[in-house]
A and B are shown apart, each in its own frame.
Chain A
Amino acid sequence: MATTKQIIHGVFGDEVPMIEACKKLRASGIRIKEVYTPMPVHGIDALIGVPRTRLAICAFLYGITGTGLATLMMWYMMVSDWPNDIGGKPTWAYYFAIPAFIPITFEATVFCAAHGMALTYLLRCMLVPGAKAKNPDPRTTDDKFLILLDLKEEQAQKAEAILKENGAEEVNHKGSYVVEPKYILEDAH
């Protein structure tokens, strides 16, 4: 049997009732597709069930890469290819002049970690040049907070009630679409 799914926008004027609504929706087992806010709302990702970011792991890996590249570069330049004797600190071996290498190691680590993180973030969010804004309601860039829901018929009614109870200024139905049964996964949320 084909299922109809509805797209609902719950629009709020303030973050506090929106956060309450998110908690209530999640408590009654409704999946929140996305939340759009005009400013960052701390802790919202955990509330709406977004898994914890793995960006920190990436940052560590990029940082290690930077450390490695810097060490390799300086080892090749200063030790392997053309050893120097600067201020009585010969670079016949890498460990002879380690203090002199530390600033560059540090800078390269920070450089790689920062650039790697920024690029990973942009690519993961598909924020490439020419990307179209995915904002469903332009007012969320000004002063409105929006909860985006994409639900089955029976859940949609429950969600609408919860949104209204918790002070949603508007609940907008943005149409529905039919999903063939083969595309429906058992909803585990």
Chain B
Amino acid sequence: MNTEKLNFTVPSKARLFSFALMAVGLLSIILMFMNDHVDGDAEYHHTRAWSNVFAGSFFFMALSLAAAFFLGLQYAAEAGWSTTIKRVIEAVTMYLPYGLSLMMLLFILGQLHVHHIYHWMTEGIATEGHENYDAIIAAKIGYFGVFWWVRTVLYMIGWYWFTMKLRKNSLDADKLDVDINNSYHWKNIKLGAWFMVLFAVTSSTASWDWVMSIDTHWFSTLFGWYIFSGMWISALTAITILTIWLKKLGYMEFVTESTIHDMGKWMFAISFLWTYLYFSQFMLIWYANIPEEVIYFQTRWEGYKALMWTVFFINFALPMVMLMSRDSKRNFFFLMFVGTIIFIGHYLDVIMIVMPGTVGHHWTGLSWMEFGNFFFFLGLFIYVVLNALAKAPLRVKNHPFLQESLHHSI
């Protein structure tokens, strides 16, 4: 095995590309804040610009969180096939601290009333007689306010701790010559299993707290799984694209075609999970026809119809048709192509989740704002992930399933 190719150095082109993305993104974020106002609406407060920043922060944070979940899942299930791409998954999880920091910054700014993404953060919303008083929110304000902040901080600490610990154990195991008892592996199995427990609860509750509470009047118990499936498929596509790119550069020759094939299967399967949850939420609300629930889809149907259908077709029909056959899942070009499209598709999904609750009827359709903003976060994500990849050898050294994974064949 060529040892040089085990240590990844960020190609200067890729570094330049990530900086260019960030520069273009930053420029368009500034322009977005300058241009984003609605005549005659003093309460607007650059809402579309803030919502875009929120969508970008949330999408990439959720993506790296889902990668951490996927990594924990491999340990909890004692899966062997994925050992060769473990370092790629780990690198994607390393964006989590940045994503969480951006989220926290946005939350603090919201509490300081700099932006109005969260309706329930408005001053006097639960004070009877106040001009901003909202009886429905007042009835559930106990769940927000201080309790919301306690939960938010706990999620962040929990996720951060598990992610960093999983990574640290993996790096520590590499330092040993031989890990006879697989001690670090056993530690990570325990960590992974406990992380599954934590994640099962917090992925749902955090989705309610951070995303569903944008539409404070509305509620859906299925919402957490819907967000979860979206971030999971985004993480899987990011991992797949990154692995194929590394293979194209000549790294990771030890990753077999079957491992990539398996990632293709995951992309295919989780696309269907997402569709299932998306449709379940829609169909039940559509059928029951309860006004307080239907309002959610009413706003989307009226002002965001094109976006709604685009998201549905890109994220459902495209992977179904393109990734069904065995050959297409083994074709790197196909996987890259479909992966890129559904990656953008799931970003548009987040846009569709966030915008109607904040921008509402001021929405004028997708524009350069959404894309410019996306470029900034994409650039940041690429920069962080590639640097994390360069910090450790691309192949883990002491892992009991390494041989199994190197010979993975299906």
Q: Which residues of A contact B (CB under 8 A)?
A: 42-43, 56, 86-89, 99-100, 102-103
Contacts and interface: CB of A to CB of B under 8 A. Distances in A.
A56 B324 CA distance: 11
Nearest to B258: A42
Interface of B: 258, 279, 282-283, 286-289, 325, 409-410
Given A99-B282, A102-B283, 4 more contacts: A43-B409, A89-B289, A99-B286, A103-B283
Nearest to B408: A42
| Interface of chain B: mostly helix, strand, loop or mixed | helix
Given A42-B409, A42-B410, A43-B409, A102 B279 contact: yes
A99 B283 contact: yes
12 contacts: A42-B409, A43-B409, A56-B325, A87-B287, A87-B288, A89-B286, A89-B287, A99-B282, A99-B283, A99-B286, A99-B287, A103-B283
A86 B283 CA distance: 13
Contacts of B409: 42-43
A152 to B, nearest CB: 34
B300 to A, nearest CB: 15
A55 B287 CA distance: 38
Nearest to A86: B287
Nearest to B407: A16
B320 to A, nearest CB: 12
Contacts of B279: 99, 102
A99 B409 CA distance: 40
B256 to A, nearest CB: 11
A159 to B, nearest CB: 26
A107 to B, nearest CB: 12
Contacts of A43: 409
Contacts of B282: 99
Contacts of A100: 283, 287
B253 to A, nearest CB: 20
Contact of B289 (A56, A87, A103): A87
Contacts of B288: 87
B16 to A, nearest CB: 42
A87 B284 CA distance: 11
A42 B282 CA distance: 41
A43 B258 CA distance: 11
A87 B288 CA distance: 6
Kindly list the 3 A-B residue pairs having the minimum CB-CB distance in the complex, ordered from nearest. A99-B283, A42-B410, A87-B289
Contacts of A42: 258, 409-410
Contacts of A103: 283
Contacts of B286: 89, 99
B262 to A, nearest CB: 12
A100 B288 CA distance: 11
Nearest to A16: B407
B293 to A, nearest CB: 12
A66 to B, nearest CB: 16
Nearest to A88: B289
Nearest to A56: B325
Contacts of B325: 56
